[in-house]
Amino acid sequence: MARHYLDHASTTPTRPEARAAMAAWDQSGITADPGRVHSEGRMVRAALEEAREQVAGLFAVRPRQVIFTSGGTEAINAAVWGALRADRGPVVCSPVEHSAVRDASARGAPVVPITVDQFGRIEVGAVDEALDRCRSLHGRNPSLAHCQWANHEVGTVQPVAEVIEHCRRLGVTTHVDAAAAAGRLPLDLGQLGADLVSVSAHKLGGPAGIGALIIRRGLRLEPFVVGGEQERARRAGLENVAGAIGFGAAASVLAAPGALGAEATISRSQCDRLLQSACAVTGVRAFGDPVHRLPHIVCVGVEGVEAEPVLLGLDQSGVAVHSGSSCSSETLEPSPVLEAMGVDAERSLRLSVGWSTTDADIGAFEAAFGGVVDKLRALGG
């Protein structure tokens, strides 16, 4: 049976350009610590810095602002750790943030929630209310405010520029989790002005095991990982040079003129087909903002049937999808994102496309979905 992968929001296949760049580096046989001054070390350093420039180019920042990490999760933890080490105070954070953001914040400080609307969207007014509660409960502004660029589960794009600008006027340090949006939307982080932004390579077609924390120019941040002077003393440990090269190659593909927009147009068209076919089934409705959403994510609720049996039924038909967010499903708990939106948190299905998605993948879902839901409803869910 042919397999059809529609779970690109969890991880997307490594782009051929990234695989080729990593293979060429491996075949070069060069092995050295990029912190050494001998010829081999300088060659590795040059490759690492070229990758850093490529990643910086995709996000419109200076290379010195890009700190390579082991992935988005480490970047988030580093952002929270560094911000709270500099100023040990409360954090404001919405319940629709990724679990890495919520858990890292809760471990280090009292968290004051930011409410969201029925689309999972953060409004500037809700941020103001959270700041007021923070001052009322703790007698001060927060040490850190989080605002994801876009939601990883329902695809809603946040008014991130407005939120960041509002927090900047109040002197509140900001962190943006951009992992879901990076490589899907144009992200001009230099213009945005956020203090800290976390991204992950495997979400946009780079390899797993590499990500970046992007730090605002002039911001001093204590390192989360200590024990060395790597990454300009902001992240200790021998750098993952091959991973950085793959990340840089994927970023370079997306930074080419028109490339990101062309992929987004295709993804949006594919998701429109998925949404139309899903909602043609009785009792299925879409979650998230219908207009201001990521181009590659569709989230639907299926009335009368829990999500896991639908997922398994589609899997038996050769279609890989996801229910809920990638981390919440591992504990089989209801999605905190959907709970915050006030919808049924146990009956969601997330479909997501990527650079390698084909018409056959979309067609396989269209052919299978209605029959799987009808069969489960006949069996009583």
Q: Of 237, 255, 273, which closes a domain?
A: 255
CATH number at residue 308: 3.90.1150.10
Structure tokens at 123: 């409004």
Do 128 and 201 reside in the same domain of the chain? yes
Reported as a single tens digit per residue, the pLDDT across 242-270 is 999 999 999 999 999 999 999 999 999 99
Same-domain status, 186 and 115:
yes
Q: Same domain, yes or no, for 327 and 215? A: no
Cα–Cα dist 254/146, whole Å: 26
pLDDT in tens, 118-130: 999 999 899 999 9
HSE toward the beta carbon, residue 330, CA cutoff 13 A: 4
Q: Are residues 293 and 189 in the same domain?
A: no
Are 266 and 242 members of one domain? Answer: no
Strands 348-352 and 297-302: antiparallel
For 89, the domain range is 16-255
Domain boundary among 255, 283, 313: 255
Report how many domains make up the chain.
2
Mean pLDDT of the chain: 94
Question: Which amino acid, 172?
Answer: V
Catalytic pick from 147, 167, 299, 327?
A: 327
**Does 301 lie in the same domain as 248?**
no
Q: Does residue 281 share a domain with residue 244?
A: no
Specify whether 276 is located in the same domain as 250: no
Q: Do residues 122 and 244 both lie within one domain?
A: yes
51, 244 contact by CB (below 8 A): yes
The CA-to-CA distance between both ends of the chain, in Å, stands at: 26
How many angstroms separate the CA atoms of 143 and 89, rounded?
5
CATH of the domain at 56: 3.40.640.10
Handedness of CA 57, 15, 152, 87 (dihedral sign): negative
Are 97 and 231 in the same domain? yes
Check: CB of residue 118 under 8 Å from CB of residue 341: yes
Residues 199, 263 within the same domain = no
DSSP 242-276: HHHHHHHHHHHHHHSTTHHHHHHHHHHHHHHHHHH
The letter for the amino acid at 49 is E
Domain closes at, from 226, 255, 284? 255
* pLDDT of 325 higher than 50: no
At 182, which helix (H) or strand (E)?
A: none
327 is catalytic: yes
Specify whether 222 is located in the same domain as 284.
no
Structure tokens at 3: 């397999």
Q: Please check whether residue 254 is in contact with residue 58, taking contact to mean a CB–CB distance below 8 angstroms.
A: yes
- So what's the pLDDT on residue 197? 98
For the stretch 300-311, what's the b/e string if a residue is b when 16 or more beta carbons lie within 10 angstroms of its beta carbon? bbbeebebebbb
Average pLDDT over residues 272-300: 96
Claim: this prediction has a pTM higher than 0.85: yes
For 26-72, the pLDDT digits (tens) are: 999 999 999 999 999 999 999 999 999 999 999 999 999 999 999 99
